[in-house]
A and B are shown apart, each in its own frame.
Chain A
Amino acid sequence: MSRFNRSGVAGAAILAVAALVAVIAPLVISADELDVTRVTAAPWQSPGAEFWLGTDHTGRSVALLVAQGAGTSLFVGLTAAVLAVGIGTLVGIVSGHFGGLVAGALLRVTDFFLVLPALVLAIALSTVLPRGLGTIVLAIGLTSWPSTARMVRAQTLTIEARPFVERARALGGGHVHVIGRHVLPSVVPLVLVNATLAVATAIVAESTLAFLGLGDPTRISWGAMLHQAQLHGAVPQRAWWFLLPPGVAIVVVVLAFTLVGRALEAVVTPKR
């Protein structure tokens, strides 16, 4: 129990740092330092005094790129998670609360999306839609909502079976009242946990899509950096300083979200 809390706090601290970097980086780093047309440093420099993490294939500082990429990766992760959890919650509550034909259909759709390999669908979506951050967010969000929906539905059913909800209904509480006053409050903690874990998945998914060349090529993200590293031959050149930092950044942030999510989970669902 306490261990989870400790690692949860550590995760939260890491996230705070990452968020700080994401906010500050664009303010501190001048556009010239990341503009391939203006940089003057030699490409493929290994780490040294001037460039802590060396330079990439165009002579830009890898350290600055990682800092700059934090914003994009976090933004995509958060928005995609919000989208996914939002859809999931809506579908879950509606199918749990209303029942009947609507619920049946929604449940069917949820099950369908649950079994579809999410990555395959996300790849397909990002090829169909025009390139851009919005597409990535949409592709990830639209493919990762079903598990939330399943869970929220189950919770909704449990809550609505409780006596006090039945009482509220008997007293003439409408759908809005029941959902707003009873179902939502009991679902929110679960949804929060889910959202935290969903951010972790979304960040990994973003990096995978970007790596496959389906990301927004005009923006710097960690996945896009790895895509560049592969495209320009970082592995045969043994340019570990170009390959390691963005990957480590992904792992650390994703791990932090997971830890926080698990800590929250432990709080929300007390042990039997």
Chain B
Amino acid sequence: MILKVAIVQQIDSMNPFLAVFQSSTEVGRLMYDYLTAYAADDQRVTEGLANRWEPSADKLTWTFTVPEGKTWSDGQPITAHDVAFTYNLMLTNEVARTANGSFVTNFSSVTAPDDRTVVIKTKAPQVTMLALDIPIVPEHVWEKVTNIKDYANDQMPVVGSGPFVLTEHVAGQFIKLKANKNYWRGAPKYDELHFVYFQNSDAAVQALTKGEVDLVNRMAPAQFDSLKDKAGVTRNKAQGRRFVELLINPGARTRTGEPIGDGNPALGDVRVRRAIAQAIDLDALVQRVNLGYAEKGAGLVPPVFGKWHWEPGEKELRTFDPAAANAALDAAGYPRKADGTRFSLRLTGRAGRAYDEQASEYLKRQLGDIGIPLDVRLVSDNQLNEATTVATYDLAFSGWATNVDPDFILGLHTCAQRPGADGKGGTTDAYFCDQAYDELYARQLSEFDEGKRVELVKQMQARFYDQVPAVVLAYENALEAYRSDHFARFTTQPAQGGVIMAQNGMWGYYGAEPAARASASGTTWVGFAVAGGVIVFIVVAIMRQTRRRRATAGERE
């Protein structure tokens, strides 16, 4: 039994130290376990390669225990030395930090005093020690690798620790993995897992309806709707990890405080930003653009991560109110001119992304209503990235996928994430820099009492919402569908309303259960027969025509 999954993004590398694309990370999770994992049902931290962990009293030393009995796919035992080898490789080799270096920047040393124990010492207390998303590689394979940069990791089958073993990869076409019979959680319930590359999600959806693939994700709402009554197809509307936002350039500056970019100076005024946010009808966007497959936006953490998610209280909530927004702009000193406008803004979005193309129409109208005409500029992906990295935008669409631990998405909006004096090295696109926010960020990073940390994280989101460097427009649902005539059940994460693909784990693929009697497709050769028939018909017709003409030509003489 084979599970065939459609992917739309390319795979950049099978080398886990180099691979930065989301699709590569997803395949990597199937090949290599991490030190810890996130449970399928509620995303709590659970056993990965290590089953026990203990911080020291000063939180600077962490001791992980790698239990006996777990083996690599080639039968060698997995030990603490493999873990220490992986982390130390990243600490000593700059190239090995390419993909996941951010997780080890605070490490001072990693040692394995015996086969079962890993000791990690950090420079400062770090609350995310159980969220180290680093694939652990087998020392006995990787110690022979001299040049990480050029190592493609394509010695098939690739030795790993995950539920599947990579057996074949043809770039741009497909990836084949076989079930790892030795997997310590137990072997998967089917034999092979294939990822098939698609040009766009439209082609993927079509292949699903034909039964050429079994699982598709990231569908557009209309595509999802089109599968509604399709026999043999089950749809999965899940709470996603992604949100879409509208950036409002708050007067971008570099880390050293130099102004950068050419944002409209009016947007530096928080009253203007609040007025813009108030003039946007989030419900209408969710209903008309997401076709209802989203939840209205508020804080930076999507509701799928329940405990970290923040909802504005009654006092904080900004309801859609163009009249109030108009009044606020008047009061802030931006009166309407003779032609009824106050000032115009550019709205930058990505051409070809359905959300941007449609939402820009709504924003154009809604902001037009408060006297701010929009100049909509839909550009290519890289042009959009360029505009946001050098802050040459007024308003821009953006969006992020969030992780179980909110550290990444929160840290993205600290002052330190802005680019350096040379305009490079920044990772933020919102250019938010707020002292109160940064202090809260520093505090939550060393707060080991989870209840207190949750409180700090919510305060940060409230601060962000209040200062509006960006309006979180919607938490998009992850729209997936699978051939339920081939596969009866998939494990979602979280258990209720969760996703199958793009999890913080590999449960969706690992837990898939084949349907009792999978039907084979019989249409394959009909196409050939029809095509052959048509060709024969055409050839015969033309030949007869020629003969007849020839005959008459001969007679004509």
Contact = CB atoms under 8 A, between A and B. Distances in A.
Touch between chains A and B, by CB atoms below 8 Å: yes
Interface in B174-209: 200, 202, 205-206, 209
Given A231-B202, A233-B205, A235-B206, A37 B220 contact: no
A72 to B, nearest CB: 15
Given A233-B205, A236-B205, A236-B206, A37 B351 contact: no
A37 B365 contact: yes
A233 B361 contact: no
6 contacts: A35-B361, A214-B380, A218-B376, A231-B220, A236-B205, A237-B222
A36 B358 contact: yes
B481 to A, nearest CB: 11
B2 interface: no
Contacts of A214: 351, 380
Interface centre among B205, B226, B358, by most A CB within 10 Å? B226
Nearest to B206: A236
A237 B358 contact: no
B352 interface: yes
Contact of B222 (A37, A44, A213, A215): A44
Interface in A11-43: 35-38, 43
B378 A233 contact: no
Contact of A130 (B222, B223, B288, B377): B377
Q: Is the interface of B mostly helix, strand, loop or mixed?
A: helix
A230 B202 contact: yes
Contact of A217 (B202, B209, B226, B357): B357
A232 interface: yes
A130 B379 contact: yes
B320 interface: no
A217 B351 contact: yes
A178 B494 CA distance: 82
B545 interface: no
B362 A233 contact: no
A235 B222 CA distance: 12
A131 interface: yes
Given A232-B222, A233-B223, A37 B288 contact: yes
Q: How large is the interface on B (under 10, 10 to 19, 20 to 34, 35 or more residues)?
A: 20 to 34
Given A35-B361, A37-B361, A236-B223, A231 B376 contact: no
**Nearest 8 pairs between A and B by C-beta?**
A213-B352, A217-B378, A233-B223, A236-B206, A237-B226, A217-B351, A232-B222, A36-B361
Given A131-B378, A233-B226, A58 B206 contact: no
Contacts of A131: 351, 377-380, 383
Interface of B: 200, 202, 205-206, 209, 220, 222-223, 226, 288, 351-352, 354, 357-358, 361-362, 365, 376-380, 383
B352 A236 contact: no
Nearest to A232: B222
Given A37-B362, A217-B351, 11 more contacts: A127-B380, A130-B383, A131-B351, A213-B352, A214-B351, A218-B378, A231-B352, A231-B354, A233-B202, A233-B222, A237-B222
Contact of A230 (B200, B362, B380): B200
Contacts of A218: 376, 378
Which of B202, B222, B357 gathers the greatest number of chain A CB atoms within 10 Å?
Answer: B222
Interface residues of A, number: 24
Interface of A: 35-38, 43-44, 57-58, 127, 130-131, 213-215, 217-218, 227, 230-233, 235-237
A235 B202 contact: yes
A35 B288 CA distance: 12
Contact of B354 (A43, A130, A232): A232
Nearest to A57: B222
Nearest to A231: B354
A58 to B, nearest CB: 7
A249 B357 CA distance: 24
A237 B223 CA distance: 8
A215 B357 CA distance: 12
B449 to A, nearest CB: 47
A193 to B, nearest CB: 33
Nearest to B281: A37
A213 B202 contact: no
Contacts of A44: 222
A231 B223 CA distance: 9
Contacts of B220: 231-233
Contacts of A36: 288, 358, 361-362
Nearest to A39: B288
Nearest to A233: B223
A213 B354 contact: no
Contacts of B383: 130-131
Nearest to B354: A231
Contacts of A213: 351-352
A47 B509 CA distance: 42
Interface core residue of B206, B288, B351, B379 (most chain A CB under 10 Å): B351
